[in-house]
Amino acid sequence: MNQKVAVFRKEHFNAAHRLFCADWSAEKNWEVFGPCSNPNYHGHNYELIVQVNGVPDPITGFVINTKDLTKIVDEEVKARFDHKNLNLDTEVFKNLNPTAENIAIVIYNLIRPRISESLDLKIRLYETERNFVDYPA
Amino acid sequence: MNQKVAVFRKEHFNAAHRLFCADWSAEKNWEVFGPCSNPNYHGHNYELIVQVNGVPDPITGFVINTKDLTKIVDEEVKARFDHKNLNLDTEVFKNLNPTAENIAIVIYNLIRPRISESLDLKIRLYETERNFVDYPA
Amino acid sequence: MNQKVAVFRKEHFNAAHRLFCADWSAEKNWEVFGPCSNPNYHGHNYELIVQVNGVPDPITGFVINTKDLTKIVDEEVKARFDHKNLNLDTEVFKNLNPTAENIAIVIYNLIRPRISESLDLKIRLYETERNFVDYPA
Amino acid sequence: MNQKVAVFRKEHFNAAHRLFCADWSAEKNWEVFGPCSNPNYHGHNYELIVQVNGVPDPITGFVINTKDLTKIVDEEVKARFDHKNLNLDTEVFKNLNPTAENIAIVIYNLIRPRISESLDLKIRLYETERNFVDYPA
Amino acid sequence: MNQKVAVFRKEHFNAAHRLFCADWSAEKNWEVFGPCSNPNYHGHNYELIVQVNGVPDPITGFVINTKDLTKIVDEEVKARFDHKNLNLDTEVFKNLNPTAENIAIVIYNLIRPRISESLDLKIRLYETERNFVDYPA
Amino acid sequence: MNQKVAVFRKEHFNAAHRLFCADWSAEKNWEVFGPCSNPNYHGHNYELIVQVNGVPDPITGFVINTKDLTKIVDEEVKARFDHKNLNLDTEVFKNLNPTAENIAIVIYNLIRPRISESLDLKIRLYETERNFVDYPA
């Protein structure tokens, strides 16, 4: 049987963003992205759930110490994105549309190198209570 | 690595239903279904989460435009089931017990043809905060 | 200063109901109540919060033992309304529209005689997560 | 006894904003508002609960038809603030700091004239799950 | 009209506790407190909502800077109670039953001197999602 | 296609616990477990979600009758752990650190023999709203 346990840690950050394609007209952007294309931005309370799968240490009973996981999220995610404008204040979304899908992939790629290779990583990101994504699926 | 992202959209509808087997006595129905077999029906606030897995479009950053997904749920699910009596007002549950399991399968089958074959589909249905199902498992 | 503490206990029940006025046409009922007037009923997961205000007992530290409060709610509310059709299965809503407002008033009147006169009572009823009422206001 | 019932309707909108005082230095703004003063804005999923207190109509059982209340919120609040930058896209917050306190007061003043004088009005606004306000207190 | 705004800040702490009366037999304690009287303690995730009512500052738009409020809760509440055994690790509950009612009163009395006299204070404490209290009522 | 449906039932229990390694110094325990190593224990509201995957019965429409599942959880989990001190009141955690990971594995092993072999079992355990685990991953 699969002996791995999945450990989840929920964090959050607040950010402004705008969805649009620079090559498209305002009309085309509105047609595809609706009010999310508003030129002056809107924003969200992003809820982030970081999932790490592994075999618990026989002594501590931990897959990963959540204290360490929280530190990684603080340094890689919150320091970059919390209380920021994703389009203006970050390098990564200067030329990448900050959809929930893309933000989740970016967060995965930021955290992956900080986690032991023996552990699996998965990201869930809530843009709103009703819209959320998982990466990888 | 798996490049797919899972996109989730949460919707809701309210409906009345009754669980029972027409071939059984009232006693047998009570034994199996308890108060859920009440002949005059009871009801729920159903919370529906539609999950679609796929590779994000490189330009929009979307797996699927949630505007389109919401439209499909409106037409296939809410128009049929919202503010309805599942046993009396729908064809599909005239001879199929409207358990959460069966409602999820029915919703899957209604939405599946409306989604591109390149995308995977999964349904989560909350009957109450404490009872819910996934299909496929 | 006000020395009273408010104690809250959350319970729930599921029921079917229909909003309509027997003296009105189907069109008038639809105009006022919309899909809530569906003749075959729909339903809800009702969340009930019973609030009791009083001075804590100096020995137990309780305003009221929630074990006793739960028993009262079981006997007066859940036995009457849980897994029932409010319009068909109850006397009180045979001639009273089962809006959230009226259900809260009815529940207040059922519980009030069971609680000591030295305690204040207030009812909150969630019909859905987005629609709820307090009585008294 | 108070015969009034309080009716609550929960709505939401997403917006970008920035807290700052134009007369202050960036240092002073950071000292008071912290990362909320970020010049490029950040954002929130605002949850709005509109509370209306009154005596239920004896025929409908409604204090107010939530269909009407939702229309008022759509026209007065969501049309103005949803998917907007509060500082840049609205007149009212051009010279008023868009704190949760001030947004709640503004929303109260927008809705108050649309509600019958016989009804009381109260606004609850969640900026995040952990920060929220009521107006009037 | 009442010009005051209520500001709410939600915090949490985890603690062990036991409800019992030292003068009573184990039987009497079980009769009144049930499993909450377990001699080896049990525990809760306490959710604390601190409410402060006042008139917003005309420049900042704040009733109180939540940064300051969080600091007060950290120092007065979390430093004392978080990850503690309320009966064993605190002075105040050595001879006071740590019911939700009494914990809320204690927290009120700890925070009250730290808040300006021009502001009103109210405490909500969730012992579980289904059991909570307000002080003052 | 996978014809299985996953059925979820959410239950809860409250317990005290302490994380520590008996072979380690207090300093080492603090370094690894932080305030969770407090010698007098702290506690949590544990939320447990039991997931059972299988093909719904063609007559009842049930994968498993949640009435039966609730009974199993009552007997195997709540009777053992609810309102208990996991370290002191249970055999299984006398020499096993009661981390969320280990509690989930223990609950899985208690429930697994009570469920038909044709059904799959998975446990989700919330220690807090922000820390939770799945087993198997």
D38: closest CA of chain E, how far (Å): 15
Q: Rounded CA gap, D108 and E4, in Å?
A: 13
Q: Is residue B82 part of a domain?
A: yes
What are the residues facing D52 on neighbouring strands?
A: D7, D121
Could you give the residue ranges of the DSSP H alpha helices within F19-137?
26-33, 66-73, 79-81, 86-89, 100-111
Q: Is F87 domain-assigned?
A: yes
Cβ contacts below 8 Å, chain C against chain E, sum to 61
What number of CA atoms fall less than 13 Å from residue E131's CA on the CB side? 19
Complex ipTM: 0.95
Residue E66's contacts (CB-CB under 8 Å, 6 or more residues apart) are D131, E7, E9
Which band of pLDDT confidence, cut at 50, 70 and 90, is reported for residue D28?
Answer: very high
CA dihedral D35, D36, D40, D42 (to 10 degrees): 110
Give the CATH number for residue D58: 3.30.479.10
d(CA A18, CA B26): 58
Q: Do D43 and A12 touch (CB under 8 A)?
A: no
Contact A52, D99 (CB under 8 A): no
Which of A10, A53, A67 is the closest to F137 by Cβ? A53
Instruction: Answer yes or no: is A20 within a domain.
Output: no
Q: What is residue E2's predicted lDDT score, i.e. its pLDDT? A: 57
D21 is catalytic: no
pLDDT band at D105 (very low <50, low <70, confident <90, very high): very high
> Is C102 domain-assigned?
yes
pLDDT tens sequence across F47-68: 999 999 999 999 999 999 999 9
Q: Which residues of E touch D101 (CB under 8 A)?
A: 5, 7, 56, 61-63
Angstrom distances, CA of residue B128 to CA of B12, C4, D21: 12, 34, 47
Backbone angles phi, psi at E89, to 5 degrees: -95, 0
Which tokens hold the place of E17? 């506790």
Q: Which of C9, C10, C61 sits opposite E101 (nearest CB)?
A: C61
Mean pLDDT of the D96-124 span: 98
Q: What are the phi and psi torsion angles at E80 (to 5°)? A: -85, -40
| Spatial separation of the C-alpha atoms in residues C46 and F85, rounded to whole Å | 34
Under an 8 A CB cutoff, do F96 and A61 touch?
yes
A44 is catalytic: no
- Whether F24 is in a domain gets the answer no
In a domain, C26, yes or no: no
Q: Which domain holds residue F127?
A: 5-15+45-135
Whether D1 has a pLDDT exceeding 80, the answer reads: no
The total number of residues written for chain C in this structure: 137
Output the pLDDT for position F49: 98
Mean pLDDT of chain A: 97
Alpha helical stretches, state H, B25-136: 26-33, 66-73, 79-81, 86-89, 100-111
* CA within 13 Å, CB half, C116: 11
Q: Region C51-66: what's the mean pLDDT?
A: 97
Residue B42 contacts residue B50 (beta carbons within 8 Å): no
- Chains in contact with C via at least 3 Cβ–Cβ pairs below 8 Å: B, D, E
Does C136 sit within 8 Å of D4, measured CB to CB? yes
pLDDT in tens, C97-130: 999 999 999 999 999 999 999 999 999 999 999 9
In whole angstroms, what is the distance from residue E126 CA to residue F16 CA? 17
Q: How far is CA C29 from CA C11, C15, C24, D60, E107, in A?
A: 31, 21, 6, 10, 51
Instruction: Classify burial at D111, counting beta carbons within 10 Å of its beta carbon; exposed 0-12, middle 13-18, buried 19 or more.
Output: buried
pLDDT at C73 over 70: yes
Q: Do F40 and E85 touch (CB under 8 A)?
A: yes
Residues of chain E falling short of pLDDT 50: 1
E36 is catalytic: yes
Q: How far apart (Å, rounded) are the C-alpha atoms in residues A16 and D35?
A: 13
What tokens were used for D62? 């409604």
Mean pLDDT for chain C overall: 97
Domains of chain A: total = 1
**pLDDT of the residue at B2:** 57
pLDDT of residue F59: 95
F122 token code pair: 């998975």
The reported pLDDT for the residue numbered C31 is 96
In one-letter notation, the amino acid at residue B86 is L
Give C2 or D134, the one with higher predicted confidence.
Answer: D134
pLDDT of residue D2: 57
pLDDT at C2: 57
Burial of residue F39 (CB within 10 Å: 0-12, 13-18, 19+) is exposed
What does pLDDT average to in each consecutive run of 10 residues of chain B (137 residues)?
88 97 96 97 98 97 97 98 98 96 98 98 98 98
Rounded distance between C-alpha atoms, residue A128 and residue A46, angstroms: 7
Evaluate whether residue A73 is within a structural domain. Answer: yes
Residue A36 lies in a domain: no
Give residue A13's Cα distance to chain centre: 10
**Sign of the dihedral defined by the CA atoms of residues D90, D91, D92, D93, in that order:** positive
Is the distance from CB of B37 to CB of B29 less than 8 angstroms?
A: yes
Nearest to F2 among B32, B96, B136 (CB): B136
The stretch C20-32 carries a mean pLDDT of 96
**Chain D environment of E3 (Cβ under 8 Å):** 136
pLDDT by residue (tens digit) across F8-43?
999 999 999 999 999 999 999 999 999 999 999 999
| Distances from the Cα of F129 to the Cα of A9, A99, E32, F2, angstroms | 9, 26, 30, 31
Q: Which residues of C touch E130 (CB under 8 A)?
A: 9-11
Closest CA to E81 of F70, F38, C99: F38
Are C85 and B38 an interchain contact pair (Cβ–Cβ within 8 Å)? yes
By CB atoms closer than 10 A (0-12, 13-18, 19+), residue F22 is exposed
Going from the C-alpha of D134 to that of each of C33, D137, E67, the distances in angstroms are 30, 5, 19
Which helix (DSSP H) or strand (DSSP E) does residue A80 occupy? helix A79-81
On whether any CB of chain C is under 8 Å from the CB of B88, the answer is: yes
- Collapsing DSSP to helix, strand or coil, A53 comes out as strand
